[in-house]
Amino acid sequence: MSLPSFAEHRIPSGQGVARIYARDHAGHGPALVMMHGFPDNLGIYDALIPHLLTAGRRVVVFDFLGFGASDKPADAIHDFAQQRDDLERVVAYLDLGAVELVAHDSSGIVAIDFALAHRDAVSRLHMLNSAFDASPLAGWPEMIVVFGDPALSALARQFAVSPAQFAWLLEWQRGQFAAALAPKHRARFNATIGPLIAANFMTQPSAAPAFMQMAAHFYAELARNSGRLDEVATLDMPVTVIWGIGDTYLTAAMGEERARRFRHGTFHPVDAGHWLQSDEPALVAKEMLG
C-alpha cells in the first residue's frame, strides 16, 4: 500500500532554532500520534499508516529531534525529558486535544511518562514492543548495551570515534535482528527497515549523536521507572499492548508482563518480530482499531 498524502510541519523545539519534523494525515477521531525508537525514525510506520487511514483515522507521525528529518544541531541535548518535550510540542502545535499514543521501542518510556503527566490528554495507549522499566524479562540489543552500560564506556568511545567500526556494529546488529525473523518477514526487513536504519545513521548529518546520548541515559531511566510502576497502575485509559512474539530481545513474556502493569491493559500477540508494524501492518492495525 502506498503512503497517502499528508501535511508537513516543522515545529519549534525547546532547543534554539531547531525544528521537529512532523506529518499529519487527515482523518477523524482522536489523532493516533506515533513515535519511533532509538535506531530509526517515523518511516517505520509507513506500512501501517494506510491501514489506519482506510479506517478513517487521523494519524500524526514525527521524528524526535536528532533523528530522521528533524533538525540535528551539534550542541543539542538528547534525553527522555527532551523527547517528552518534543511530544508535548507536537500535540500543542497541531492542537490535537486528547490523543491516542502509539509507542515502539524506547518511545514506550516517552508515551507512559506523557500519560502520567497529562492523564486527560491521552484517550488510549498502544504499546508495541517497547521499553519502560528494568524488567528482568528484557534482553536489550547489543548495540544498546554497548552505549548504555557504564561498564562498557571505553568500548563505546572507541566505536564513537571510528565511523568504520560504528558502521560494522550497526551492520552486525542489523544481521542479528534479521536472522531471528521468519523468511517472509526477513525479506521485508531487508528491503525496508534495515536500509531505513542504515540511512538514519550513515546519512549526514547523522542520528548517531542523538542515539549515543539516548543510550547513555537508558539504563538510569529504566531504573527510575521501575520505581514508578505503582503510579503506572493508576492510569485509567485503556492500554493495548500489541507485541511481536518473534522478538528475541523484547520477548512475549515481557509483553504480557507489560500488559499486567496497567489497570486496563490487554495483551495482543502478533506473529512478527521487533518491527511488527512493518512485518504485519494489517494485523497490527486490526488490533489497534479493535
Task: Split the chain (290 residues) into runs of 10 and give each run's mean pLDDT.
Answer: 87 97 97 97 98 97 98 96 98 98 98 98 98 96 97 96 95 96 96 97 96 97 98 98 97 98 98 98 97
State the Cα angle at 117 between 114 and 136, rounded to 5°. 60
DSSP 26: -
In a domain, 202, yes or no: no
User: What pLDDT, on a 0 to 100 scale, did the predictor assign at position 116?
Assistant: 98
In a domain, 44, yes or no: yes
Q: Could you give phi then psi for residue 8, rounded to 5 degrees?
A: -95, 145
User: What pLDDT, on a 0 to 100 scale, did the predictor assign at position 1?
Assistant: 62
> pTM of the full predicted structure?
0.97
Q: Which domain holds residue 253?
A: 7-138+224-289
**d(C-alpha 167, C-alpha 255), whole Å:** 31
Count of domains forming the chain: 1
Of 102, 82, 117, the residue nearest 35 (C-alpha): 102
In a domain, 218, yes or no: no
In a domain, 125, yes or no: yes
Give the model confidence (pLDDT) of 1-46 as tens digits: 667 899 999 999 999 999 999 999 999 999 999 999 999 999 999 9
Interacting residues of 205 by C-beta distance below 8 A, sequence separation 6+: 72
User: What pLDDT, on a 0 to 100 scale, did the predictor assign at position 32?
Assistant: 98
In a domain, 184, yes or no: no
User: What pLDDT, on a 0 to 100 scale, did the predictor assign at position 4?
Assistant: 81
Q: CB of 91 within 8 A of CB of 253? A: no
Q: What is the CATH number of the domain that holds 128?
A: 3.40.50.1820
